[in-house]
Amino acid sequence: MEEALKANQPSRNPSYLENVHPMSLDLRVCFYLFVATIPAETYPFIKSFSISQILGVVFIFIIGIRGKWILKTPSKPFWFFSIYYTIVLLSVQWLNPSYFPYWQKRVGQFGQLLFFFWICTILVSYRELAKGAIAAYSYSLVTVITLAKLHVPGFVSEQALDVYHERATIGDADPNGFAVKSGVALIYFLDKFLDQYERKSKWNWFFFLLMGYLSFVIIETQSRGGQLAVLIGLVVYVFTRSFTINRRKMLTIMVLVVLAFTIYAYKDPQMARRWKQTIEEGDLSARERIFPEAVNMIKRKPVFGYGLCDHLWILGAATARDQRDPHNSFFWVLHELGFVGGTWYIIAFIMCGVMAYKKRKGALGNIPLVYFVIILAASLSLTAVYFKVTWFVLSLAAAEDQKHH
């Protein structure tokens, strides 16, 4: 009798838990829609509100109704990010009073991102929801790129055109960051393309065309750092994915694809000029001057840093600008709060990478690891602390620690 009862009990193994979906339809749909707004988060909808902000409010409202989900224990990196956030909150005690509005803005932004990381980590620990969210993000990005190319009002702002000219992307999005966002979607379509071939032994030209489309978009951003981050991600993808295709054949295809788009990039006059300046003159869009000074700033105030906003003015003064972004996520947090505060962010970031590496053969395969590598590489050449895509990727990486009952 006992054996019969045990046989009828549901399995407790991880593969069973990955497929459990006790969440309501409204929560799942709203989650997909919210993730889909990440590529167009700067698109204005009602006055100063973006579609992303409006859906974020709806998402929080639904989470409040389904309150049991916010009672889940956060993943381990969450607590380290929270310590960093707490120190940001406490930094108001020694903040220059004139920077209080800036402090309020950063506290609000990071608080929202941390909350998103918590909830997203819970939701994407379900395999189907994780795959659905990545798909929603990727197809949304293709859609908003197409709307921008069709000159639909609002998708490329006048300010962006004035600042970035032909490099202007979606809303006010920085072309460097947008190249990284596009790389995340590119990896998704590449994985779908190969998965279709391995299961049906046929090339899916729809995914192939989407890959080509995004590759051209990445080149058009003229972002050298973004392109390198995506290229590094592609290399990691090839060497960490299990292929039924002959690996040598796969590498040959990848080399030919990279070569084809390298030729295309070389034929683009602006892109060719930027790469030529990098190779021949060591020009990195002022990063060759910013990074050494950023390191010197850390040496001068390694313990508590310079405080929010102050660090931007100090770096600017040292590099012939009013204000200057250090163009590096880790320099940013160390400049703000020194090793006392910034170390917590860096530890949490690394923990997410370790977790992604450990589960590279899990339900999502190597995708979380590849995404993490792209964000890591991007974080070395631009400040990605406040990018929603950064926190989406980190939640995919950290989801393994979440327990379901």
Q: Would you say residue 245 lies in a domain?
A: yes
Instruction: Name the percent of the chain lying above pLDDT 90.
Output: 42
What average pLDDT does range 180-190 have in this prediction? 94
**Contact between 110 and 386 (Cβ < 8 Å):** yes
304-363 pLDDT tens trace: 999 999 999 999 998 888 888 999 999 999 999 999 999 999 999 999 999 999 998 888
| CA separation for the pair 346, 330 (Å, rounded) | 7
Read off the pTM. Answer: 0.86
Q: pLDDT tier at 284 (50, 70, 90 boundaries)?
A: low
CA 35 from centroid of its chain's CA atoms: 11
pLDDT at 403: 43
Worst-scoring range by mean pLDDT, 68-82, 186-200, 226-240, 370-384? 68-82
Dihedral angle of Cα 142, 147, 148, 152, to the nearest 10 degrees: -170
Q: Would you say residue 271 lies in a domain?
A: yes
Q: Would you say residue 114 lies in a domain?
A: no
Is residue 376's pLDDT more than 80? yes
Is residue 401's pLDDT more than 50? no
| CA separation for the pair 234, 231 (Å, rounded) | 5
Q: Is 222 exposed, middle or buried (0-12, 13-18, 19+ CB in 10 A)?
A: buried
101-149 pLDDT tens trace: 999 999 999 999 999 999 999 889 888 899 999 999 999 999 988 888 8
What average pLDDT does range 249-259 have in this prediction? 70
Is residue 277's pLDDT more than 70? no
Residue 96, classed as helix, strand or coil, is coil
Q: Would you say residue 397 lies in a domain?
A: no
Distances (CA, A) of 93 to 138, 224, 336: 42, 39, 14
Is residue 265's pLDDT more than 50? yes
CA angle 15, 17, 22 (to 5 degrees): 145
Instruction: Name the percent of the chain lying above pLDDT 70.
Output: 75
pLDDT at 36: 92
Number of domains within the chain: 1
Please give the residue range of the domain that contains residue 181: 174-285
Is residue 79's pLDDT more than 90? yes
pLDDT at 9: 41
What average pLDDT does range 87-93 have in this prediction? 93
Q: Would you say residue 14 lies in a domain?
A: no
Q: Would you say residue 165 lies in a domain?
A: no
Q: Would you say residue 8 lies in a domain?
A: no
14-40 pLDDT tens trace: 433 344 444 678 888 889 999 998 887
pLDDT at 2: 42
203-226 pLDDT tens trace: 788 998 999 899 888 888 878 888
pLDDT at 20: 41
Q: Would you say residue 102 lies in a domain?
A: no
Note the residue count of the chain.
405
Residue 44, classed as helix, strand or coil, is strand
